A and B are shown apart, each in its own frame.
Chain A
Amino acid sequence: MMARFAIRDQRAFAAGALFLGFAIFFYVVALGYPAGTAARMGPGYFPRMLAIVLAAIGLAVMVRAMRSTAERQPLRQWDWKGLAWVTGSVILFALLLFPLGLVGSLFVLIVVSSKASHEFTWKGALANAAVLIALCLLVFVYGLGLRLPVWPALFN
């Protein structure tokens, strides 16, 4: 986004754009559902109404961000790496839970998510994994009796 265009408050502008984007998405999809009438509303009536309200709010927020009185606010720095490690470890856990069982998938979750820290050490992550896996087995599997696959599917 170029700062010489009068977008003084980039944060608010992006927030408004987010609202507008969602509004358009929901409105377009809702066009596929019958709207009905005010007295007999179909499944499409309420979503369209909300989408219009959200679009108006989004536009208002964007316009306000461009006004000359708006406070100057740049977009903040994004930590893509941290986000990727954390989100990725959760997705890996979901993918591996059934093939590897709780023990294996927790191991992956703990080690991969630990990578998100600036103070990552293999020794620390492995020790943490050992402690947490033992704790989870004790609490969730043996203590609370939650139905979780504990060992890899191969052994069953």
Chain B
Amino acid sequence: MDLFHNLAIGFSTAAQPANLLYAFSGCLLGTLIGVLPGLGPLATIAMLLPITYALPPEAALIMLAGIYYGAQYGGSTTAIVVNLPGESSSVVTTIDGYQMAKQGRAGVALSTAAIGSFFAGCVATLALAALAGPLTAAALLFGPKEFFALMILGLILASVLSSGPFIEGVGMVVLGMLLSLVGTDLSSGTQRFAFGVPQLFDGLDFVPLAMGIFGFAEIVKNLEQDDKLSLVTQKIANLFPTREDFRRMIPAMLRGTTLGTLLGVLPGGGAVLSSFASYTLEKKLSKHPEQFGKGAIEGIAGPESANNAGAQTSFIPLLTLGVPSNVVMALMVGAMNIHNIQPGPEVMTKNPALFWGLIASMWVGNLMLLILNLPLVGLWVKLLTIPYRYLFPAIMVFCSIGVYSINGGTFEIYEAAAFCVFGYVLIKLQLPAAPLLLGLVLGPAIEENFRRAMVLSRGDASVFLTSPLSAGLLAAAAVAVILITLPAIRARREEALQE
């Protein structure tokens, strides 16, 4: 069968000793940085990006994927042990995870998260492998208007899922798209919004922007809060869930995995949506809803499986359609561009070893995390005891060197400093940064496809509605907008997204 043939290609790439080593170091470094409070996968990947510049493309992507899962895993550890989510997808893990930790069951909570993530990772790898072929074939049917509609859907869903009012999320998307216009207009060669600064002719770089907003501005915010971490001080002794624990966590894992695998594929979806949805589902189905928030193991097993499955299947739109579905995937686009890979349907046909190798290495990475993390949990927890006053200068050092090494010039460092101020303004105004970054990344492709579609239709905008596929995608976007503006659903969403 094709699937097994492809997976065999993948595993022969992923299992090369060098690539195993890169996957391993990616997982290790990702966990190491991701476990530090306030550093989510995005900041972790951005910081570690320069390490992968010198590697061959396969190795670089394999390592970055490892960093991603590692950082996400590290985020769960912080969520459970210090009640501090590393990023929004581990917000729900804090609810029951920290309660379990306070009851002296931190070890069980951590191993539940690990086992759930691993199981979900296995299933999602298979789903990714099985879906990649058909979706890539579908992508070849896409013309400019379909791509335009798909990206609009993705951006709408991303704004729906961001915290804060929907309209402000859309505003951030549009602002991001405007920022993406900085640089050379490809069709006419005109310099737009560059003001004669040569470093801006290629546009605003994604990495200094992400570092400024998610690295530096986040530090200013953390310094201001000034409160002590509520670290669980008991020794983490028992890692093994009891038989009763298993009985309760297995069904939750199965449901979480299914939910995450499906929701991850949605543009705009991914880990965050999956984990929230899974928590809500578990609470609804449970015979003991009153235990939720007081240390219910289902509240960890479900969301942790869901977010890992979602994280993995969110690679599907990127690898098959070339459309990043969330901010982390947007950063992966940046990483691929550095290695001259244009994400999209061509990757699979032109470079099967890279494509399937990446997929296979995801499974390998999940296995490594399981083996790596449970025994080392004590070490990760120790890392958390480093006082923030020593930690944040270190983060600043890594970010600054990382930004410098993009082009080997200081311009990007100034750019990051400017976005630190901008990011701080966003934090103060409670405006979500994720939609801004997605708008920034998707902006050029949206403009290009929009202009091409309009040329083909001789300026008739109704083509977007007369083509069945693009009309369907736009209709889905419209439904999302209508649903989100209905009062009843708005209230539910606020409940689910509140932090």
Task: Choose the segment among B107-115, B218-226, B356-364 that binds chain A (4+ C-beta atoms closer than 8 Å).
Answer: B218-226
> Which of B's residues lie within 8 Å of A, judged by CB?
50-51, 54, 165, 167-168, 170-171, 174-175, 177-178, 181, 185, 187-188, 190, 192-193, 216, 219-220, 223-224, 226, 387-390, 392-394, 396-397, 400-401, 404-405, 408, 410, 413-414, 416-417, 420-421, 424-425, 428-431, 447, 450-451, 454-455, 457-461
The residues of A that contact B454 with a CB separation of less than 8 Å are: 38-39, 41
The answer to whether the Cβ of A66 comes within 8 Å of any Cβ in the partner chain is no
The residues of A that contact B187 with a CB separation of less than 8 Å are: 41, 43
The residues of A that contact B400 with a CB separation of less than 8 Å are: 90, 93-94, 109
Query: In the bound complex, what is the Cα–Cα distance between A86 and B431 (angstroms)?
Result: 21
Query: In the bound complex, what is the Cα–Cα distance between A75 and B170 (angstroms)?
Result: 22
Q: A54-B178, A87-B417, A146-B401 are in contact. Are A46 and B451 (CB under 8 A)?
A: yes
Partner of B192 from A14, A18, A43, A110 at Cβ < 8 Å? A43
Q: A75-B428, A98-B410, A140-B401 are in contact. Are A113 and B392 (CB under 8 A)?
A: yes
Q: Is the CB of B174 within 8 A of A50?
A: yes
Q: Is the CB of A117 within 8 A of B190?
A: no
Q: Is the CB of A38 within 8 A of B461?
A: yes
What are 10 A-B pairs with beta-carbon distances under 8 A? A47-B192, A50-B174, A61-B168, A61-B171, A64-B167, A79-B220, A82-B223, A110-B393, A117-B389, A128-B394
Main secondary structure of the interface of B (DSSP, over half): helix
Residue of B nearest to A36 (CB): B188
Q: Is the CB of B171 within 8 A of A46?
A: no
The residues of A that contact B420 with a CB separation of less than 8 Å are: 83, 86-87, 90
Q: Is the CB of B431 within 8 A of A15?
A: yes
Q: A47-B181, A144-B51 are in contact. Are A114 and B393 (CB under 8 A)?
A: yes
Interface residues on A, range: 35 or more
Partner of A29 from B193, B219, B393 at Cβ < 8 Å? B193
A-B CB contacts (within 8 Å), total count: 180
In the A-B complex, list the 8 residue pairs whose CB atoms are closest, starting with the nearest.
A39-B459, A38-B459, A94-B413, A43-B185, A43-B190, A117-B389, A94-B410, A57-B171
Q: Is the CB of A119 within 8 A of B429?
A: no
Residue of A nearest to B195 (CB): A29
Q: Closest CB-CB distance, B93 to chain A, in whole Å?
A: 27
Of listed B388, B392, B429, B461, residue having the most chain A CB within 10 A? B429
Residue of A nearest to B189 (CB): A43
Interfacial residues of chain A within 122-147, with CB under 8 A of chain B in the complex: 124-125, 128-129, 132, 136, 140, 144-147
Partner of A110 from B165, B397, B430, B461 at Cβ < 8 Å? B397
Q: Is the CB of B190 within 8 A of A91?
A: no
Partner of B171 from A54, A118, A145 at Cβ < 8 Å? A54
Q: Is the CB of B393 within 8 A of A54?
A: no
The residues of A that contact B421 with a CB separation of less than 8 Å are: 83, 87
Given contacts A11-B429, A30-B192, A128-B390, 14 further A-B contacts (CB under 8 A): A15-B429, A15-B431, A26-B193, A37-B459, A38-B454, A57-B174, A61-B167, A82-B224, A90-B396, A91-B417, A98-B410, A119-B389, A132-B394, A144-B50
Partner of A119 from B188, B387, B430 at Cβ < 8 Å? B387
Residue of B nearest to A37 (CB): B459
Q: A40-B455, A54-B175, A87-B420 are in contact. Are A46 and B450 (CB under 8 A)?
A: yes
Q: Is the CB of B417 within 8 A of A14?
A: no
